[in-house]
Amino acid sequence: MATRIIRETYNLKDIVRNIARGIEGYDQYAIGAYLDRCSDLLFNIAANGTPLLAG
């Protein structure tokens, strides 16, 4: 389970990086798709029992 959480967290990091790049020049549809995927990954991390730390 820890390996999956780490993998999902790295996927989340890549998506956030892509969103930042998208804001600089990609279209809004791509940003929306990245945000949808980000939401899915956060749900998966939370569903695996890992507390998400707000900060």
The first and second tokens of residue 39, run together, are 């939401």
Contacts of 11 (CB under 8 A, 6+ apart): 37, 41
Question: What's the pLDDT score for residue 22?
Answer: 65
**pLDDT (0 to 100) of residue 15:** 76
pLDDT on residue 25: 65
Query: pLDDT digit of tens for each residue in the chain (55 aa)?
Result: 567 666 777 777 777 777 776 666 667 777 778 778 777 777 777 777 655 544 4
pLDDT attached to residue 2 = 63
Closest CA to 18 of 4, 30, 1: 30
19 neighbors 35 (Cβ within 8 angstroms): yes
> C-alpha distances in angstroms, 27 versus 10, 23, 45, 55?
23, 8, 28, 28
Q: Where are the chain's structural domains?
A: 2-47
